[in-house]
A and B are shown apart, each in its own frame.
Chain A
Protein backbone atom coordinates (compact mmCIF):
# COMPACT_ATOMS: atom_id res chain seq x y z
CA UNK A 1 0.00 0.00 0.00
CA UNK A 2 1.09 3.56 -0.69
CA UNK A 3 2.87 5.15 2.28
CA UNK A 4 0.65 8.20 2.41
CA UNK A 5 -2.41 6.05 2.15
CA UNK A 6 -4.95 8.66 1.06
CA UNK A 7 -7.21 5.69 0.54
CA UNK A 8 -7.16 4.86 4.20
CA UNK A 9 -8.17 8.42 5.09
CA UNK A 10 -11.40 8.15 3.16
CA UNK A 11 -12.02 4.68 4.50
CA UNK A 12 -11.80 5.90 8.08
CA UNK A 13 -14.02 8.89 7.49
CA UNK A 14 -16.49 6.48 5.96
CA UNK A 15 -16.47 4.42 9.15
CA UNK A 16 -16.78 7.45 11.42
CA UNK A 17 -20.54 7.80 11.12
CA UNK A 18 -23.26 5.63 12.62
CA UNK A 19 -25.53 5.71 9.53
CA UNK A 20 -22.70 4.62 7.28
CA UNK A 21 -21.66 1.88 9.67
CA UNK A 22 -25.25 0.63 9.79
CA UNK A 23 -25.36 0.57 5.97
CA UNK A 24 -22.12 -1.42 5.89
CA UNK A 25 -23.47 -3.91 8.42
CA UNK A 26 -26.65 -4.31 6.39
CA UNK A 27 -24.66 -4.86 3.19
CA UNK A 28 -22.72 -7.55 5.03
CA UNK A 29 -25.87 -9.66 4.57
CA UNK A 30 -25.83 -9.13 0.81
CA UNK A 31 -26.54 -6.49 -1.89
CA UNK A 32 -29.50 -4.12 -1.41
CA UNK A 33 -31.19 -1.23 -3.18
CA UNK A 34 -30.69 2.34 -1.97
CA UNK A 35 -34.38 2.63 -1.04
CA UNK A 36 -34.21 -0.59 1.03
CA UNK A 37 -31.06 0.66 2.74
CA UNK A 38 -32.65 4.05 3.46
CA UNK A 39 -35.87 2.59 4.89
CA UNK A 40 -34.73 2.16 8.54
CA UNK A 41 -33.47 5.76 8.73
CA UNK A 42 -35.51 8.84 9.44
CA UNK A 43 -33.68 10.76 6.75
CA UNK A 44 -34.52 12.38 3.40
CA UNK A 45 -33.09 10.70 0.34
CA UNK A 46 -30.57 13.44 -0.67
CA UNK A 47 -28.59 13.32 2.61
CA UNK A 48 -28.82 9.54 2.59
CA UNK A 49 -27.39 9.47 -0.95
CA UNK A 50 -24.50 11.57 0.36
CA UNK A 51 -23.64 8.77 2.79
CA UNK A 52 -23.85 6.25 -0.03
CA UNK A 53 -21.47 8.37 -2.13
CA UNK A 54 -19.01 8.69 0.76
CA UNK A 55 -18.96 4.90 1.07
CA UNK A 56 -18.57 4.55 -2.67
CA UNK A 57 -15.74 7.11 -2.84
CA UNK A 58 -13.95 5.25 -0.07
CA UNK A 59 -14.25 2.13 -2.18
CA UNK A 60 -16.07 0.31 0.59
CA UNK A 61 -19.10 -0.31 -1.60
CA UNK A 62 -19.89 -0.40 -5.30
CA UNK A 63 -23.22 0.70 -6.75
CA UNK A 64 -24.94 -0.07 -10.02
CA UNK A 65 -28.04 1.50 -11.48
CA UNK A 66 -30.36 -0.73 -13.44
CA UNK A 67 -33.46 1.10 -14.67
CA UNK A 68 -34.60 3.23 -11.76
CA UNK A 69 -33.10 1.07 -9.04
CA UNK A 70 -29.60 1.64 -7.68
CA UNK A 71 -28.17 -1.45 -6.01
CA UNK A 72 -25.29 -1.34 -3.53
CA UNK A 73 -22.80 -4.07 -2.79
CA UNK A 74 -19.97 -4.41 -0.28
CA UNK A 75 -16.35 -4.37 -1.48
CA UNK A 76 -14.68 -6.61 1.09
CA UNK A 77 -11.10 -5.95 -0.07
CA UNK A 78 -11.19 -2.44 1.32
CA UNK A 79 -11.81 -3.65 4.81
CA UNK A 80 -8.44 -5.35 4.71
CA UNK A 81 -6.49 -2.07 5.05
CA UNK A 82 -8.20 -1.09 8.28
CA UNK A 83 -8.14 -4.59 9.62
CA UNK A 84 -4.41 -4.86 8.93
CA UNK A 85 -3.70 -1.80 11.02
CA UNK A 86 -5.85 -3.00 13.90
CA UNK A 87 -4.19 -6.40 13.72
CA UNK A 88 -0.79 -4.72 13.86
CA UNK A 89 -1.84 -2.69 16.92
CA UNK A 90 -3.16 -5.76 18.63
CA UNK A 91 0.10 -7.61 17.93
CA UNK A 92 2.14 -4.73 19.35
CA UNK A 93 0.18 -4.81 22.57
CA UNK A 94 0.43 -8.58 22.75
CA UNK A 95 4.20 -8.27 22.26
CA UNK A 96 4.55 -5.62 24.99
CA UNK A 97 2.48 -7.63 27.39
CA UNK A 98 4.44 -10.83 26.78
CA UNK A 99 7.50 -8.86 27.91
CA UNK A 100 5.60 -7.55 30.92
CA UNK A 101 4.52 -11.09 31.87
CA UNK A 102 8.19 -12.12 31.92
CA UNK A 103 9.18 -9.08 33.95
CA UNK A 104 6.42 -9.66 36.51
CA UNK A 105 7.48 -13.28 36.82
CA UNK A 106 11.07 -12.23 37.54
CA UNK A 107 9.96 -9.61 40.06
CA UNK A 108 7.73 -12.08 41.88
CA UNK A 109 10.58 -14.59 42.14
CA UNK A 110 12.88 -11.91 43.51
CA UNK A 111 10.30 -11.01 46.16
CA UNK A 112 10.17 -14.57 47.49
Chain B
Protein backbone atom coordinates (compact mmCIF):
# COMPACT_ATOMS: atom_id res chain seq x y z
CA UNK B 1 0.00 0.00 0.00
CA UNK B 2 1.40 3.37 -0.92
CA UNK B 3 1.27 6.03 1.74
CA UNK B 4 0.69 8.90 -0.67
CA UNK B 5 -2.76 7.94 -1.94
CA UNK B 6 -4.76 11.13 -2.04
CA UNK B 7 -7.63 11.33 0.47
CA UNK B 8 -9.82 14.34 1.15
CA UNK B 9 -12.98 14.75 3.18
CA UNK B 10 -14.85 18.04 2.86
CA UNK B 11 -18.08 19.45 4.16
CA UNK B 12 -20.17 22.10 2.50
CA UNK B 13 -22.61 23.26 5.15
CA UNK B 14 -24.43 25.51 2.72
CA UNK B 15 -25.44 22.67 0.43
CA UNK B 16 -25.62 19.96 3.12
CA UNK B 17 -23.00 17.98 1.30
CA UNK B 18 -20.07 15.76 2.19
CA UNK B 19 -17.43 15.19 -0.46
CA UNK B 20 -15.03 12.29 -0.15
CA UNK B 21 -12.24 11.95 -2.70
CA UNK B 22 -9.79 9.08 -2.66
CA UNK B 23 -7.18 7.59 -4.96
CA UNK B 24 -6.74 3.84 -5.33
CA UNK B 25 -3.70 2.02 -6.55
CA UNK B 26 -5.61 -0.11 -9.05
CA UNK B 27 -7.14 0.18 -12.53
CA UNK B 28 -10.57 1.70 -12.93
CA UNK B 29 -12.28 -1.56 -13.96
CA UNK B 30 -11.23 -3.24 -10.76
CA UNK B 31 -12.25 -0.32 -8.54
CA UNK B 32 -15.61 -0.14 -10.32
CA UNK B 33 -16.19 -3.84 -9.59
CA UNK B 34 -15.44 -3.28 -5.91
CA UNK B 35 -18.16 -0.60 -5.74
CA UNK B 36 -20.79 -2.44 -7.71
CA UNK B 37 -20.57 -6.18 -6.92
CA UNK B 38 -22.10 -7.42 -3.69
CA UNK B 39 -19.49 -10.10 -2.94
CA UNK B 40 -16.77 -7.43 -3.16
CA UNK B 41 -18.72 -4.67 -1.39
CA UNK B 42 -19.25 -7.03 1.54
CA UNK B 43 -15.49 -7.19 2.00
CA UNK B 44 -14.92 -3.47 2.52
CA UNK B 45 -18.01 -1.30 2.71
CA UNK B 46 -18.50 -1.34 6.47
CA UNK B 47 -15.94 0.60 8.54
CA UNK B 48 -14.27 -1.12 11.51
CA UNK B 49 -15.58 -2.69 13.72
CA UNK B 50 -18.60 -3.38 11.47
CA UNK B 51 -18.90 -5.94 8.69
CA UNK B 52 -21.21 -5.61 5.67
CA UNK B 53 -23.64 -8.40 4.78
CA UNK B 54 -25.65 -8.28 1.56
CA UNK B 55 -29.20 -9.56 1.50
CA UNK B 56 -29.94 -8.67 -2.11
CA UNK B 57 -28.27 -6.75 -4.91
CA UNK B 58 -29.47 -5.59 -8.32
CA UNK B 59 -26.95 -3.12 -9.70
CA UNK B 60 -29.12 -1.60 -12.43
CA UNK B 61 -31.17 1.57 -12.82
CA UNK B 62 -34.25 1.10 -10.67
CA UNK B 63 -32.58 -1.74 -8.78
CA UNK B 64 -31.24 -1.66 -5.25
CA UNK B 65 -28.65 -3.03 -2.84
CA UNK B 66 -30.04 -4.14 0.51
CA UNK B 67 -27.45 -4.90 3.16
CA UNK B 68 -26.72 -4.78 6.86
CA UNK B 69 -23.85 -3.28 8.79
CA UNK B 70 -23.26 -5.86 11.48
CA UNK B 71 -21.58 -4.79 14.70
CA UNK B 72 -19.33 -7.11 16.76
CA UNK B 73 -22.30 -8.10 18.94
CA UNK B 74 -24.25 -9.24 15.87
CA UNK B 75 -26.67 -6.28 15.78
CA UNK B 76 -27.77 -5.51 12.23
CA UNK B 77 -28.21 -1.95 10.92
CA UNK B 78 -30.03 -2.19 7.61
CA UNK B 79 -29.32 0.11 4.70
CA UNK B 80 -30.77 0.34 1.22
CA UNK B 81 -29.16 1.96 -1.83
CA UNK B 82 -31.51 2.62 -4.72
CA UNK B 83 -29.72 3.05 -8.03
CA UNK B 84 -31.13 6.00 -9.96
CA UNK B 85 -28.74 6.23 -12.89
CA UNK B 86 -25.67 4.32 -13.94
CA UNK B 87 -22.95 5.13 -16.47
CA UNK B 88 -20.89 1.92 -16.54
CA UNK B 89 -17.31 2.39 -15.25
CA UNK B 90 -17.74 6.16 -14.94
CA UNK B 91 -20.25 6.68 -12.17
CA UNK B 92 -23.63 6.21 -10.64
CA UNK B 93 -26.25 8.06 -8.63
CA UNK B 94 -28.02 6.36 -5.76
CA UNK B 95 -30.30 7.15 -2.87
CA UNK B 96 -28.88 6.10 0.49
CA UNK B 97 -31.58 5.29 3.06
CA UNK B 98 -32.05 3.38 6.30
CA UNK B 99 -34.32 0.38 6.00
CA UNK B 100 -35.51 -2.64 7.95
CA UNK B 101 -34.58 -6.29 7.45
CA UNK B 102 -37.31 -6.62 4.80
CA UNK B 103 -35.95 -3.77 2.73
CA UNK B 104 -38.69 -1.25 3.54
CA UNK B 105 -37.21 2.23 3.65
CA UNK B 106 -37.52 4.06 6.94
CA UNK B 107 -39.12 7.34 5.85
CA UNK B 108 -38.58 8.94 9.25
CA UNK B 109 -34.84 8.90 8.77
CA UNK B 110 -32.88 11.29 6.59
CA UNK B 111 -32.04 10.19 3.08
CA UNK B 112 -29.03 11.31 1.10
CA UNK B 113 -28.22 11.23 -2.60
CA UNK B 114 -24.87 9.83 -3.63
CA UNK B 115 -23.12 10.91 -6.80
CA UNK B 116 -20.13 8.66 -7.32
CA UNK B 117 -17.61 9.21 -10.10
CA UNK B 118 -14.63 7.12 -11.18
CA UNK B 119 -11.76 8.84 -12.91
CA UNK B 120 -8.84 7.18 -14.65
CA UNK B 121 -5.55 8.44 -13.20
CA UNK B 122 -3.45 5.64 -14.62
CA UNK B 123 -2.12 3.52 -12.96
CA UNK B 124 -4.45 4.77 -10.25
CA UNK B 125 -8.15 5.54 -10.03
CA UNK B 126 -9.74 8.56 -8.39
CA UNK B 127 -13.15 8.09 -6.80
CA UNK B 128 -15.31 10.98 -5.68
CA UNK B 129 -18.46 10.63 -3.61
CA UNK B 130 -20.81 13.55 -3.13
CA UNK B 131 -23.33 12.73 -0.45
CA UNK B 132 -26.04 15.38 -0.33
CA UNK B 133 -28.84 15.74 2.20
CA UNK B 134 -32.00 17.61 1.26
CA UNK B 135 -31.97 20.08 4.14
CA UNK B 136 -29.64 21.25 6.93
CA UNK B 137 -32.10 19.63 9.35
CA UNK B 138 -31.62 16.24 7.68
CA UNK B 139 -27.87 16.54 8.00
CA UNK B 140 -28.27 17.46 11.66
CA UNK B 141 -30.39 14.40 12.29
CA UNK B 142 -27.71 12.16 10.85
CA UNK B 143 -25.14 13.85 13.02
CA UNK B 144 -27.28 13.33 16.10
CA UNK B 145 -27.74 9.67 15.23
CA UNK B 146 -24.10 9.20 14.45
CA UNK B 147 -23.20 10.58 17.84
CA UNK B 148 -25.72 8.30 19.52
CA UNK B 149 -24.40 5.25 17.68
CA UNK B 150 -20.85 6.22 18.37
CA UNK B 151 -21.74 6.38 22.01
CA UNK B 152 -23.47 2.99 21.90
CA UNK B 153 -20.56 1.41 20.05
CA UNK B 154 -18.19 2.75 22.68
CA UNK B 155 -20.41 1.44 25.46
CA UNK B 156 -20.80 -2.02 23.95
CA UNK B 157 -17.02 -2.12 23.45
CA UNK B 158 -16.71 -1.32 27.12
CA UNK B 159 -19.17 -4.12 27.96
CA UNK B 160 -17.04 -6.62 26.09
CA UNK B 161 -13.90 -5.40 27.75
CA UNK B 162 -15.51 -5.66 31.17
CA UNK B 163 -16.79 -9.17 30.37
CA UNK B 164 -13.26 -10.19 29.41
CA UNK B 165 -11.77 -8.73 32.57
CA UNK B 166 -14.28 -10.21 35.02
Contact = CB atoms under 8 A, between A and B. Distances in A.
Nearest to B1: A101
A104 B22 CA distance: 14
B108 interface: no
Contacts of B24: 97, 100-101, 104
B31 A104 contact: yes
B144 A5 contact: yes
B14 A96 contact: no
B34 A92 contact: no
**Which 4 residue pairs of A and B lie closest in terms of their CB atoms, listed nearest first?**
A95-B47, A99-B44, A16-B136, A92-B47
Interface of chain A, helix or strand or loop or mixed? helix
A111 B13 CA distance: 42
Given A86-B9, A95-B47, A104-B30, 8 more contacts: A1-B151, A3-B147, A3-B151, A9-B137, A16-B136, A93-B9, A97-B7, A103-B40
B18 interface: yes
A105 B27 CA distance: 11
Contacts of A97: 7, 22, 24, 44
Looking at chain B, what size class is its interface with the partner chain? Answer: 35 or more
Interface of B: 1, 5, 7, 9, 11, 13-14, 16, 18, 20, 22, 24-26, 30-31, 33-34, 40, 43-48, 136-137, 139-140, 143-144, 146-148, 150-151
Contacts, number: 102
Contact of A12 (B1, B47, B139): B139
B115 to A, nearest CB: 16
Interface of A: 1, 3-5, 8-9, 12-13, 15-16, 18, 21, 82, 84-86, 88-97, 99-105, 107-108, 111
A111 B24 CA distance: 17
Nearest to A11: B140
B85 to A, nearest CB: 23
Nearest to A9: B140
Given A101-B25, A104-B25, A105-B1, A88 B150 contact: yes
